Amino acid sequence: MSGNPTSREESFLVRGGTRLSGEIAVAGAKNSVLKLMAVALMARGRTTLTNCPAISDVPAMADVLRHLGCTVEITADTVVIDTPAELGHVADDKAAQRLRASVCILGPLVGRLRQAVIAMPGGDAIGSRPLNWHQNGLNRLGAETHMDHGRLVARASRLRGATYELSFPSVGATETFVTAAVLAEGTSVLKNAAREPEIVDICDLLNQMGAKITGAGTSTISVEGVEELSPVTHRVIGDRIVAATWAMGAVMTRGDVKVTGIDPMFVHVVLETLRGVGAEVETGRDWIRVSQTGRPRARDVRTLPFPGFPTDLQPMAIALASVSDGVSVVTENLFEARFRFVEEMVRMGVDAETDGHHAKIVGRERLDSATVWASDIRAGAGLVLAGMCADDITEVCEVFHIDRGYSDFVGNVRSLGGEIERVPTYR
């Protein structure tokens, strides 16, 4: 990454009228690697993760683990975590508040140490992520949890297997329950579990380490408790959100992009959506290719838990709707604050309105260049794609968000033919 990847004083200048074309490989998934790093807390010794993305959230999570007593080394796409026999259970407030994924240490700490203290997680401004589902799951396993001055405190004298049904298939709550249950006594069953590929990746790692988990990728996950885990080497799955970002960028810019390192089934619904707007889509064992010749057609989109359309791609869906022929309605079913993105699209001349969980967008042939602000990782990427469809130079501010989720974003955009420059923000 060029410049300071965490600077709030940097912007991207994006030239409109460019077309994304070429081949690009995706690195490991942000939504997996941070959770896999947390799982390393559960086994004494050296855990090695490969195919890790070069994003700023990885060293941020490394800092969280170091505060607990781990040694963490990051070299190229490999993260090596040495977990000591004596491990701390109180997360550093400042480190944890830098990223929302910090809550993923909760289950591993309670599972191994029977106690954890973590601050409310920070990260993206996309809406509330209450911890009550996490707490309820731990409580069912025998822990006691409460909030204390902005921190979640969890303690248990022992953990016993239990059956717990989530009221919503929360990814984070699924991770917390499963990781804690791995080292509990007896068998645990989680119903209405999240089905995301990243959940499967976490469970694959845990099973490699000696856990006994079945049903990952379905709505019912069973965990037979074991006494201990052993460290291993594990390869992180490809990032489906990054892959889909380039695919949707190809459609918006009427380009032709092949993305490698991704299982097409991870983005099946996205690809069907792109076919619906007029794109040509090809797939192979570990690649997708998306091309668009004319203006895309308007199409309604509804975000849903996996295997539905990902909420992380909602900004890109709105950006795509903004240049499509016709009127689109985008429905957000997961995070209420994600429609902040619409305000930035209005700056770019889009006729759009929001009502609760719905955004109505009237597409136009070409967007207006403007100065816009990224409010989260995916909104930032969506604004860059929108800037490529504008009439002149668009300035995207607060690009530190993008650095949290996309490896070498500028280099990758340029490799596909986009014109983008990282510059200091003068204001």
The domain limits of the chain are 10-26+238-424, 30-235
Cβ neighbours of residue 343 closer than 8 Å, sequence gap 6 or more: none
Backbone angles phi, psi at 27, to 5 degrees: -85, -170
Backbone φ, ψ for residue 344 (5° rounding): -70, -35
Q: Which residues have C-beta within 8 Å of that of residue 137, sequence separation ≥ 6?
A: 164, 166, 173, 176, 177, 180, 190
CB-based burial, 158-175: b 16+ in 10 Å, e otherwise: ebebbebebeebbbbbbb
Same topology, domains 10-26+238-424 and 30-235? Answer is yes
Cα separation, 164 vs 40, whole angstroms: 25
Note the pLDDT of residue 141: 97
* Count of helix runs (H) and strand runs (E) in the chain: 14, 23
3-state secondary structure of 112: helix
Predicted pLDDT at 228: 97
Residue 1 has a pLDDT of 33
Contact 361, 322 (CB under 8 A): yes
Helix (H) or strand (E) holding 318: helix 314-322
Phi, psi of 270 (to 5 degrees): -60, -45
Residues annotated as part of the active site = 124
What confidence score (pLDDT) does residue 4 get? 38
Q: In the chain, which residues have pLDDT < 70?
A: 1-8, 96-97, 99-101, 121-130, 335-338, 427
> What integer pLDDT is reported at residue 9 of this predicted model?
85
Say what the pTM is. 0.93
In whole angstroms, give the CA distance from residue 247 to residue 257.
7
Cα–Cα nearest to 417, from 18, 24, 25, 23: 18
CB atoms within 10 A of CB 327: 13
d(CA 203, CA 216): 7
pLDDT reported for residue 102? 78
Which CATH topology does 10-26+238-424 take?
Answer: UDP-n-acetylglucosamine1-carboxyvinyl-transferase; Chain (3.65.10)
User: 30-235 — its CATH code?
Assistant: 3.65.10.10
Residue-level pLDDT at 30 = 95
Give the position of tokens 């985008």.
330
Q: What is the pLDDT of residue 356?
A: 78
For residue 426, what pLDDT is reported?
Answer: 74
Cα distance between residue 26 and residue 325, in whole Å: 30
